[in-house]
Amino acid sequence: MTKSEWKSFFDRDFLKNTLAALGGALSALLIYYLLTRLDKQKVSRLASEKDGRRMRYLGGLVRASQSQSQLFLENLNRLIGEMKTGPLYFPSLAPNSQQHLERLSNLLNNEDYFEAYIDQFGQENMGAYHEMTSSVDFFIAQDKDLRQLLAAAQDEDLKRKSVYLSMVYDLLKRGSEVLQLVSITGTEGHQEIKSIYDAYHSQFASYEDLAYHQNFFIKPMLEKVFVHVGKEDPVVLELSTAFKSAHNLYREIEQQQIEMQTRLTELLDVYKNRAQLFHQQALPITETLSSSDEEGGKKRKRKPKPPFPSFLLVF
């Protein structure tokens, strides 16, 4: 390198220009690094905010689903109470929408919501997530299965009651056979039969009242008349068998309702326990949602920060 070249190399303007170029390059690299880091932070923040929105939405559905499961319990408990008012009363289960539970089930089976849950609450709560999913599926299935069970039972109950009423109506028309029964039982039997028929017709109110037919006609005839009659006469034997068949069918109708009460009571206990478990399983979500609601009311607006340090603005 010649003397003039060395001189130009150490020239003040040359050094100044060189340092300025280096400074500009370094500044550009620094800005690129900071912007890249800010972009990554922004992506991470947006993902975190998105997960937060998912958890808040999930938490809202969990609360709504808990209310729906509680309403199901109340309706089922009311149904059992109504059935206990009479052995022949078979009411229907009040309608109860499963909309929130079905939506929650869909979300819990969504991979994005599962990952958002794990990101927020950790792997240690994965079991609670799966148990919560199982509980929601249980609630939906129980509502569907119970309504199908009740519909089938009510249909069978209606058929039996219809048959019973037909049997009673048929027995009421068999006057000639009853007269033959009178001739067999004698004066005392005649008075008993007349007393039963008089009491039955004097207080008759509704043909649909099965308990009335049973308590004022079928049962008295069996307990006060046929119990004293022999089985030699085929007509009387057939009539006695018809009364016993009606009596047994009535008992079957009562027994079906009692068995249904027992089954519903068992389901009520199982469902109640599952609802309590569901409450425990959902605590991570519902507690976080409650905390988020409280913090949301306390947030204040802050001045926006510049996207990169202020000293870089000189470049």
DSSP line for 8-45:
HHT-HHHHHHHHHHHHHHHHHHHHHHHHHHHHHHHHHH
The pLDDT score that the predictor gives to residue 45 is 66
Taking the CA atoms of residue 107, residue 108, residue 110 and residue 113 in that order, the dihedral angle to the nearest 10 degrees is 90
In a domain? residue 307 = no
In a domain? residue 93 = no
The pLDDT score that the predictor gives to residue 105 is 94
What does each of the 315 residues of the chain score in pLDDT, given as a tens digit?
555 554 555 556 655 666 566 666 666 666 656 556 655 655 556 667 787 888 888 889 999 999 999 999 999 999 999 998 887 888 889 988 899 999 999 999 999 899 989 888 888 888 989 999 999 999 999 999 999 999 999 999 999 999 999 999 999 888 767 777 777 766 677 888 889 989 999 988 888 899 999 999 999 999 988 887 766 778 888 888 999 999 999 999 999 999 999 999 999 999 999 999 999 988 888 887 766 555 554 544 444 455 444 444 443
In a domain? residue 161 = yes
In a domain? residue 156 = yes
Distance CA 167, CA 62 (A): 53
In a domain? residue 295 = no
- At position 209, the amino acid (one-letter code) is D
In a domain? residue 57 = yes
Distance CA 204, CA 159 (A): 23
Distance CA 88, CA 62 (A): 39
Assigned token pair, 283: 């605590």
Distance CA 278, CA 265 (A): 20
Domain containing residue 205: 11-86+98-114+124-289
In a domain? residue 209 = yes
The pLDDT score that the predictor gives to residue 246 is 97
Q: Between helices 12-83 and 283-298, what is the axis angle to 10°?
A: 120
Number of domain units in the chain: 1
Report the run of H or E that residue 104 belongs to, with start and end: helix 99-108
The pLDDT score that the predictor gives to residue 302 is 47
Is the dihedral angle over the CA atoms 243, 248, 254, 257 positive or is it negative?
negative
In a domain? residue 259 = yes
The pLDDT score that the predictor gives to residue 247 is 97
Q: Cβ distance 165 to 272 under 8 Å? A: no
The pLDDT score that the predictor gives to residue 61 is 92
